[in-house]
């Protein structure tokens, strides 16, 4: 199971779906309606994450730094990353991955993979693609001097959403709930 999680991270980096591995310089990434995106890409990942979470029955306050600029008009909206996303328990570690758009994330679905990582100093918490968050704050460095990134989005857990249970190439079911995907791959 733990090898699966590590493999997923490597696959995401290879496919350029993790903005840490594939940065889009100078572009503003729009938020797309999630029904138009692939939300889960791996067979049975929800169950694997649930098994790992059983050993870590807690919520985490984590940080994620990126080198891309996300649309800032998302306050009080539900969003999700749309793919497995790395975050860190250490803000300084997150800053090394970018300071353009950053996230302060409170997650109860994320899994601490530090003890399974080849880079344990990164204190990584893996956030599954089906995790939804409410954007409770958007701060900008131009308005708040000393902020750790140009724009900081504060995200709070608001549930899960998965039409596919991480299965590859299944057609998603229709949904009436509006939510946005943060990491649109252009």
Residue 6's contacts (CB-CB under 8 Å, 6 or more residues apart) are 113, 116, 117, 118
Neighbour-count burial of 57, counting CB atoms closer than 10 A to its CB (0-12 exposed, 13-18 middle, 19+ buried): exposed
Three-state DSSP at 21 gives coil
Q: Where are the alpha helices (DSSP H) in 45-163?
A: 45-54, 91-95
Centre a 10 Å sphere on the Cβ of residue 169 and count the other Cβ atoms it contains: 7
Neighbours of 22 (CB within 10 A): 17
- One DSSP character per residue, 43-72 reads TTHHHHHHHHHHT--S-EEEEEEESSEE-S
Catalytic residue annotation: 64, 86, 124
């Amino acid at each position: 199971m733990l090898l699966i999680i590590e493999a997923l991270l490597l696959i995401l980096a290879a496919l350029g779906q993790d903005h840490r591995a594939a940065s889009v310089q100078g572009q503003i990434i729009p938020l797309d309606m999630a029904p138009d995106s692939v939300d889960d890409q791996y067979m049975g990942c929800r169950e694997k994450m649930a098994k790992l979470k059983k050993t870590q029955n807690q919520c985490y306050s984590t940080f994620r730094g990126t080198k891309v600029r996300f649309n800032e008009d998302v306050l009080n909206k539900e969003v999700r990353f749309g793919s497995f996303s790395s975050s860190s328990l250490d803000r300084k570690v997150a800053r090394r991955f970018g300071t353009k758009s950053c996230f302060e994330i409170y997650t109860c679905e994320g899994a601490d993979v530090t003890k399974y990582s080849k880079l344990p100093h990164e204190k990584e918490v893996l956030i599954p693609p089906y995790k939804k968050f409410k954007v409770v704050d958007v701060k900008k460095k131009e308005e708040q001097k000393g902020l750790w990134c140009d724009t900081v989005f504060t995200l709070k857990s608001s549930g899960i959403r998965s039409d596919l249970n991480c299965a590859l190439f299944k057609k998603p079911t229709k949904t009436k709930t509006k939510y946005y995907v943060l990491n649109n791959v252009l």
